[in-house]
């Protein structure tokens, strides 16, 4: 298996933590997030990782190097301008027919190998790893009829949502819909594929997953340190 790790963002929602270091190098315990992700990928059978970098790229390259100490081959895809979350993948010409893509700021004990096998057995050009989350609305919610009269009321209702984990398996052929040299995000890709009637699959995972996009998520990662350390076996 080969994988792409998206590590080029500025991580503005994690400021001031990311004022001087890129988000993938934010430490969880005594290890940067990206080291934990690389270790998990190696455990699951990944052999080569393309790291898409932009913001403070030299620090990421200095921290993880060529991947030898992880038992991986690491190569870098340097963005000359911000290309969002899917645009950088388009710039890598040597990708195989099927490959993993992961955001560089996630913690998970997901088995990437099982996700990859699931994708290969499907007819989908894209498979999205999804996690179930309960979203609680912090207000009383009213439904009304056309005259404005209340027909139902629910106090702080809960919604069960399937959310993207920021981990995917791509078939290389779907990159044909990604434009060259301009920002193109996962949201753009999803809408484009659905518009064209392309098959997009999902892989549900209910184990440990944390997207470290906000400071409160980062603090949660520190509280989860014992669980995170188990990712190293």
**Domain 2-130+163-232 sits in CATH 3.90.550.10:** yes
**Per the structure block, which two tokens stand in for 116?**
């990859």
Q: Which residues are bridge partners to 26 per DSSP? A: none
Domain segments of the chain as ranges:
2-130+163-232
For the whole prediction, is pTM greater than 0.75?
yes
Give the separation between CA 134 and CA 161, rounded to whole angstroms: 6
- pLDDT over threshold 80, residue 77: yes
- Cβ partners under 8 Å of residue 102, min gap 6: 3, 4, 5, 6, 37, 41, 166, 167, 168
Q: Could you read off the pLDDT of 88-141 as tens digits, one per residue?
A: 999 999 999 999 999 999 999 999 999 999 999 998 999 999 999 888 889 999
Per-residue pLDDT of 148-181, as tens digits, reads 999 999 999 888 899 999 999 999 999 999 998 8
- Say what the pLDDT of residue 80 is: 83
What pLDDT is attached to residue 231? 64
Q: How confident is the model at residue 11 (pLDDT cuts 50, 70, 90)?
A: low
Residue 161 φ/ψ, nearest 5 degrees: -120, 140
**14 three-class SS:** helix
DSSP label at residue 97: S
Distance, in Å, from the CA atom of 86 to the CA atom of 189, rounded to the nearest integer, reads 8
Lowest mean pLDDT among 30-44, 90-104, 109-123, 215-229: 215-229
215 in helix, strand or coil? helix
């Amino acid at each position: 298996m080969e994988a792409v790790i998206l590590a080029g963002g500025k991580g503005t929602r994690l400021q001031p933590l990311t004022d001087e270091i890129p988000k993938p190098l934010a430490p969880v315990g005594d290890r940067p997030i990206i080291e934990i992700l690389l270790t998990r990928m190696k455990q699951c059978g990944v052999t080569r990782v393309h790291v898409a970098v932009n913001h403070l790229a030299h620090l990421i390259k200095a921290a993880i190097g060529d991947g030898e100490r992880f038992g991986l081959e690491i190569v870098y895809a340097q963005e000359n301008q911000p290309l969002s979350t899917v645009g950088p993948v388009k710039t890598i010409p040597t990708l195989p027919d099927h490959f993993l893509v992961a955001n560089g700021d996630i913690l998970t004990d997901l088995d990437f190998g099982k996700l990859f096998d699931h994708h290969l057995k499907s007819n989908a050009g894209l498979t999205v790893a999804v996690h179930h989350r309960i979203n609680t609305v912090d207000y009383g919610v009213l439904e009304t009829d056309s005259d404005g009269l209340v027909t139902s009321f629910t106090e702080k209702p809960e919604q069960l949502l399937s959310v993207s984990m920021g981990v995917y398996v791509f078939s290389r052929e779907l990159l044909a819909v990604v434009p060259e040299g301009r920002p193109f995000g996962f949201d753009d890709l999803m809408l484009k594929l659905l518009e064209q009637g392309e098959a997009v699959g999902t892989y549900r995972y209910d184990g440990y997953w944390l997207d470290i996009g906000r400071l409160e998520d980062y603090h949660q990662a520190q509280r989860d340190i014992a669980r995170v350390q188990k990712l190293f076996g």
